[in-house]
Amino acid sequence: MAERIPAPDIGDIQRTVLPSRALWLTVRDTLCDARRAALADAVRAARRLAKKKKVDDDLLGATVLEAMWEAVSCLELAANVAAPWVDHQMDSPHGRWAEMTKYDPSRVNRFYESSHKWTDERFAALFGHRFDDGQSLVDILSSTGFEDERFSGAFEQAETATTTFLRDRFKSLAAHWGGLRGYAAAYEHGLLLVPSAYGEAVDEKNQPLSQHLIAWATRKDAVLWPGDTTITQLIDLAESAGGLAIDLADYVADARLRLVESLEFDGDKVFLRPLQNPIPYWVKEGDLSEESIEVLDRMRLNWVNRAQGDTST
């Protein structure tokens, strides 16, 4: 058996490293799966009901509203997981994981509505290509004497392509949130679906609104309704918005875990393990060359002992 290599000083194990690891694992391996399942179940139920020729409007409205709320929950999870890297609001000596545990009622709005102003550096910090000081893994390895043109070239392509991809996806996320935020706010403050047996919503001309989905607006003498959007389009929106948000939460958590998963914990001791696929990427097909994809997907960094117990790649 090869001798295990002790890790260098990585900070407070009990209050920084292990809690952050626990949170990221919970997001990636539990919360994302649970939210995906809940969204899929709600969307499936709404589609099934919408296909029926005769259906109670109140029941259909409630079922579609459930799918919309699942999408909102997915968007909120993604914002809570990712925002500490682009909308840092809390200083903690134990790392940014602590910010994920603090409820901030304005966080989701800020996160999506400010995304069009983010710099490339903020996107790079979000998806794990850059650290707080702006350095990349390539920079850090270069400072130890490690040089590999394939590695640095693949990193540059991955960073550029992922930034472009996420800028485009955040346009969709911001638009989705803009359409759902009214319902989300109403839901959080006690949303009430307007049942046909107990009330009737009217427009500015006092004409009844013939809609499947009518909800009370938050703290207003008014209602929300989807306008010209059909029930099928609402269901599609919920599925698309929620699915993209969960993909984002999953990606951010997985990117953060790659370095942590290169550590082996044994009591109070920490050892180095091979670092698998250290450069995360999220791109469209064709954005990266086949050569770069092969380098990124097969990359593995091993550690060797140096004099006096230091380590390098």
Evaluate whether residue 139 is within a structural domain.
no
| pLDDT the model gives residue 312 | 43
The residue ranges of DSSP E strands in 120-259, in sequence order, are 215-216, 223-224
Question: Residue range 275-280: average pLDDT?
Answer: 90
Q: Helix or strand or coil: residue 84?
A: helix
For residue range 62-110, list pLDDT tens digits in order: 898 889 889 999 999 999 999 998 888 888 888 888 888 888 888 899 9
- Counting the structural domains of the chain, the total is 1
Whether the CB-CB separation of 288 and 161 falls below 8 Å is answered with yes
pTM higher than the cut 0.75: yes
Evaluate whether residue 27 is within a structural domain.
yes
| pLDDT the model gives residue 12 | 87
Evaluate whether residue 39 is within a structural domain.
yes
Q: Please give the residue that has the higher pLDDT: either 269 or 195.
A: 269
Q: Please give the residue that has the higher pLDDT: either 243 or 148.
A: 243
Evaluate whether residue 299 is within a structural domain.
no
| pLDDT the model gives residue 192 | 64
Where does the pLDDT of residue 2 fall: very low under 50, low under 70, confident under 90, or very high at 90 and above? Answer: low
Three-point CA angle 60, 64, 66, nearest 5°: 120
Domain that holds residue 99: 5-119+164-277
Evaluate whether residue 76 is within a structural domain.
yes
Q: Which long-range contacts (CB under 8 A, 24 or more apart) does 289-295 make?
A: 289/157, 291/150, 291/154, 292/153, 292/154, 292/157, 292/158, 295/150, 295/151, 295/153, 295/154
Evaluate whether residue 46 is within a structural domain.
yes
Residue 1: pLDDT above 80?
no
